Amino acid sequence: MNTPVTTSLAQTPLPVSAAKPLLQARAARRLPQERRWSTPVIVLAQCALLIGGVLAWELSARQGWIDSFFWSQPSKIQEVLMVFFTQGDAWIDISFTFRATLAGFIIGTTLGTLIGLSFWWSGNYAAIVQPFIVCFESIPKLALAPLIILVFGIGLPSKIAIGVALTVVVSALTTFAGVKSVDRDLERLMYALGASRWQVFCKLVVPSVLPWGISVLRVNIGLALTGSIVGEFISSQHGLGRAILYAGQTYEIALVWVAVLVLSTLSILMYVAVAHIERVLMKHVKR
């Protein structure tokens, strides 16, 4: 029922449909407005927070407020960092972890996407295979790491295999969700116009599902890196995970922090690169 509403600006009654935008505008003006800082100011605040934390850490270690044996200190970490890159196997370890992560990410994402797309071809096939994929997803992949190491050895293939195991199911289930969201009316229309099953798959299903596969890239790069590090923890001759494990066993806490710092930098760079690729691919898909 369109009941008249009287506003304070005018005493003439207004219908609800006309008064609603006016009331919404008044409510928006009453809401507290937060003044957003510019990007340079935010970056400056982040740098100040980071520098302040490092200085507090160094001061606490020198004054004895924290045990420097267990926590180390930034000055010691800096010294070990220089030795790590000038005299250690820094570049070999970084290259090993990077190659294992990248290969696991590409293989797992591609294989999972193909598995998800294959479910479109047969509902019976999807009904049979899907429970096995869900069951594999529920298994902690890290528990399978020792078995994978035994099968593939302590070299690069085992680290790639663990990364694939962590990423393939995520891509498969995400792509399958995209397959189920394909417009069935448009699919029937294409069949009615004489399109073959392969044409429907290439012209409709793949373009519709592609955004779903792209959306999982950022998640998969983190999972692939996790798989590589776990494999290096269990058994490896190279890698940042091996460096962290060795430093922890020998109580070289500064070296642990150095390896963690390098690993964090590597993960950020890969995440940024994948995020950029995702944005580029999404732009092409929307076209």
Q: How far apart are the first and last CA of the chain?
A: 44
Q: What is the pLDDT of residues 28-63, one digit of tens each?
A: 566 566 677 788 888 898 899 999 999 998 899 888
Cα–Cα distance measured from residue 202 to residue 190, given in angstroms and rounded to the nearest whole number? 12
pLDDT in tens, 73-128: 888 988 888 988 888 788 998 999 999 999 999 999 999 999 989 888 888 888 88
Type and span of the H or E element at 55: helix 39-63
Q: Is 212 exposed, middle or buried (0-12, 13-18, 19+ CB in 10 A)?
A: buried
Six-digit token pair at 266?
A: 């590597």
Phi-psi region of 233 (alpha: psi -120 to 50; beta: other; left: phi over 0): alpha
Domain boundaries along the sequence of the chain: 1-29, 39-69, 85-286
Residue 281 burial by CB count (10 A; 0-12/13-18/19+): exposed, middle or buried?
middle
Give the closest residue to 260 by CA, choosing from 99, 101, 140, 84: 84
pLDDT score at 257: 92
pLDDT value, residue 276: 86
Distances (CA, A) of 210 to 25, 118, 206, 216, 262: 40, 13, 6, 10, 33
How much is the pLDDT for 24? 63
At residue 192, the pLDDT reads 85
Classify residue 228 as exposed, middle or buried by CB count within 10 Å of its CB (0-12, 13-18, 19+). Answer: buried
d(CA 92, CA 241): 12
Residue whose tokens read 């800096």: 78
Sequence-distant (≥ 6) Cβ neighbours of residue 219 within 8 angstroms: 170
Residues 6+ positions from 90 with CB-CB distance below 8 Å: 84, 262
| Mean pLDDT, the chain, integer | 83
User: Could you give the C-alpha distances from 136 to 165, 178, 214, in angstroms and in order?
Assistant: 9, 20, 22
pTM of this structure: 0.79
Q: Does domain 85-286 have CATH number 1.10.3720.10?
A: yes
Interval 163-190 mean pLDDT: 87
Residue 8: which pLDDT band, with cuts at 50, 70 and 90?
A: very low
pLDDT of amino acid 52: 92
In whole angstroms, give the CA distance from residue 185 to residue 191: 10
